[in-house]
Amino acid sequence: MYTRMSKSVISAHDVVKNFGDVKAVRGISFDVHEGEIFAFLGPNGAGKSTTISMLTTMLRPTSGQLMLNGHDVTKEQDNARKSFGIVFQDPALEEELTAHENMVIHAVLYHIPKHEQARRIEDLLRLVDLWERRDSYVKTYSGGMRRRLEIARGLLHHPKILFLDEPTLGLDTQTRNLLWDYVVKLNKNENVTIFFTTHYLEEAENVAQRIAIIDHGNIVATGSVAQLAKQTDTKNLEGAYLKLTGKAVRDETSLSNDGLNVRMARRNERLR
């Protein structure tokens, strides 16, 4: 069983994010422990992406505190940034360069010592089975290969935490399974903490040790699959999820928002 003694490597304390009048995140708190696989679930526009953006230093929280590996993300940005690797929801690769060149750029941006770069890059590209294709342009890669490359890149600077924002979106079943195999292996062998979001509940059920469910900017439940099912008096994660977040399809133009709405909200705010 899970021990309460382990150190927390991600911690959020009463984090709020407003875009003008729009309250995207309304004071959430949670802890992710070292070496844990943690799933962050919620309907469209619940505040998932906003939370990940804040955790990864791309957005500043309106109030509250976020710590990564003991570093405050707003005050010690560079140290916080060195602590994590990320696979974004949309690919963030330079397509006109080769896989190897993408890795080199990352190595330099993260100040990896020169003499270690070549070995680390080779090791990781072999880990995700892309070493043979290292000199091909990324634009010739399939969706699955890009994901694998992004994972390899995200691990290059030996982060304590790996963020995966809907990493399996648009991938076929084989590639999805393969990807989770890598991630679980990585977590076991290297003790990398995994924080991921997904819309495929069975992925969270199979892989995650603990799950947080966010809705309308609030965390509505946290716990293992068994705990969530018990709390909600349901049989599995899907049952618990639907009971907690309701069956209604989310109206994307409502006050709750996703990236697009947030952007519109900000634009309107500026016009005002």
Q: How does strand 71-72 pair with strand 84-87? A: unpaired
254 binds another protein (CB under 8 A): no
151 binds another protein (CB under 8 A): no
Q: How far is the CB of 261 from another protein (least distance, A)?
A: 14
The site string for another protein over 204-223 (x = CB under 8 A, - otherwise) reads --------------------
The contacts of residue 199 (CB under 8 Å, 6+ apart) are 166, 169
Positive/negative CA dihedral, 13, 18, 21, 22: negative
192 binds another protein (CB under 8 A): no
The contacts of residue 116 (CB under 8 Å, 6+ apart) are none
123 binds another protein (CB under 8 A): no
269 binds another protein (CB under 8 A): no
191 binds another protein (CB under 8 A): no
Q: Which is nearer to another protein, 16 or 220 (CB)?
A: 16
Number of residues that bind another protein (CB under 8 A): 31
127 binds another protein (CB under 8 A): no
18 binds another protein (CB under 8 A): no
Among residues 214, 178, 226, 196, the alpha carbon closest in space to that of 28 is found at 214
Compute the distance between CA of residue 39 and CA of residue 195 in angstroms, rounded to an integer: 6
Compute the distance between CA of residue 149 and CA of residue 254 in angstroms, rounded to an integer: 36
Q: How far is the CB of 56 from another protein (least distance, A)?
A: 5
DSSP E strands in the chain: the ranges are: 8-19, 22-33, 37-41, 63-68, 71-72, 84-87, 161-165, 193-197, 210-215, 218-223
Q: Which is nearer to another protein, 139 or 185 (CB)?
A: 139
Give per-residue burial for 25-41: e unless 16+ CB within 10 Å, then b.
Answer: bbbbebbbbebbbbbbb
Question: Pick from 57, 224, 234, 236: which binds another protein (CB under 8 A)?
Answer: 57
- Give the footprint of another protein on residues 75-104 (CB under 8 A): 77-79, 81-82, 86, 88, 90-97, 101, 104
Question: Pick from 108, 118, 226, 242: which binds another protein (CB under 8 A)?
Answer: 108
- The residues pairing with 8 across neighbouring beta strands, listed in sequence order, are 33
Cβ contact 92:149 at 8 Å: no
51 binds another protein (CB under 8 A): no
135 binds another protein (CB under 8 A): no
Kindly list the residues in this chain that would bind another protein in the complex (CB under 8 A).
Answer: 53, 56-60, 77-79, 81-82, 86, 88, 90-97, 101, 104-106, 108-111, 153, 263
